[in-house]
Amino acid sequence: MLATRLFDIGDIRTAEVAKPRPGPGDVLIRVEACGICGTDRHLLHGTFPSKPPLTLGHEFSGIVVGVGDGVTLAEGTRVTCDPNTWCGQCENCLRGRVNLCSNNVATGLGRDGGFAEFCAFPAHKAHVLPNDLDPLHGAFCEPLACTLHGIDMGAPKAGERVMILGGGVIGMLALQLCVQAGAEVMMVTRQASKQALAQSLGAAMTAKTEAAAQTVWPMGADLVVECAGVVETVEMAPRLTRDGGRVVILGVLGKGETVRIEPFDLLFREVQFLSSFINPFTQGRAAAMIAAGRIKLDPLISRTLPLAEAAEAIVKPARAGEIRAIVLPGG
């Protein structure tokens, strides 16, 4: 079968590999759709931990075509993969912080993932989706699960003002969750197409720059959610937060990048500065929301591409205005 593999830092290629076999407790799926995440580009450049050589892809769904010993999940079932498999025995797991597991093995980062025709992974990490669900929608479960964790931490309340920094897929998902919570939401993004999309998804207003956002809400937002994963937006987030407000960092900066933050400002205004990492216990919620049609996903699909083009798409920066590109390994 074909798979898009990271052979070493800076070396990604689509190559012929052996079709995986499900081991005991595993499920084998025929991958229908796998989203290209910014983390995949970090993996390529060595700014996010990985264990090459391996097949990338951690945002995917597909159809069960085989099971290992002890698995009762029926063949033909559509599932989405929760890529993170924690050990349950380390100190962090035992205190309930499973997303900080010292021994976490992530599908698409620590073992072969979904940029392939077939993928095997632990069956207990497969979340069932409706058989009539659009296959492309299943690829959004993992990013929605990560976003849910961050929004849980930020805890927007009805009537509060929330500012979303960054108009990528995480920003657009965070926007929808905050609107559903009853918050008044502003999207801050430079691209006009993303501003228009944000308004169609429920943003009360948009702004292009920090200065423009401050003009509209001079006292700042109750909650600022950083979703762009760049130094500029992380540094501006506290400045856009009102006294006593909260900042949640959802975007991923590469390992080694640093930002300038003024601790006195956080102290004097009692601004909470929080960071959110992956998806502890939220994948099932995400799958249920997507299955119920509670999240608008079609507007977030910028393009689809075959597996043969996945490596090139990861090597290149995301296209201007792109929200999510999805690889179709079988198409």
Same domain, 29 and 57: yes
Are 11 and 134 in the same domain?
yes
Provide the number of structural domains found in the chain: 2
Burial of 256 (0-12, 13-18, 19+ CB in 10 A): exposed
Whether cis (ω within 30° of 0) applies to the bond prior to 280 is no
Name the catalytic one among 4, 14, 39, 241.
39
pLDDT in tens, the chain (331 residues): 999 999 999 999 999 999 999 999 999 999 999 999 999 999 999 999 999 999 999 999 999 999 999 999 999 999 999 999 999 999 999 999 999 999 999 999 999 999 999 999 999 999 999 999 999 999 999 999 999 999 999 999 999 999 999 999 999 999 999 999 999 999 999 999 999 999 999 999 999 999 999 999 999 999 999 999 999 999 999 999 999 999 999 999 999 999 999 999 999 999 999 999 999 999 999 999 999 999 999 999 999 999 999 999 999 999 999 999 999 998 7
Within this chain, do residues 26 and 75 fall inside the same structural domain, yes or no?
Answer: yes
The answer to whether residue 45 is catalytic is no
Task: Report if residue 289 sits inside a domain.
Answer: no
Residues 180 and 127 in one domain: no
- The CATH code of the domain that includes 104 is 3.90.180.10
- Least Cα distance to 167 among 134, 142, 201, 138 occurs for 201
Q: Does residue 88 sit within a domain? A: yes
- Taking the C-alpha atoms of residue 108 and residue 147, their distance in angstroms, rounded to an integer, is 19
Active site residue 42: yes
Place of tokens 């025929």: 30
- The residue segments making up the domain with residue 253 are 147-275
Q: What is the CATH number of the domain that holds 189?
A: 3.40.50.720
Active-site residue identified among 4, 14, 42, 127: 42
Beta carbons of 9 and 46 less than 8 angstroms apart:
yes
Residue 292 lies in a domain: no
Q: Which two tokens stand for residue 127?
A: 């979340």
Does a structural domain hold residue 135? yes
Closest to 56 in 3D by CA, of 139, 114, 138? 114
Give the pLDDT score at 206. 98
What's the pLDDT score for residue 75? 97
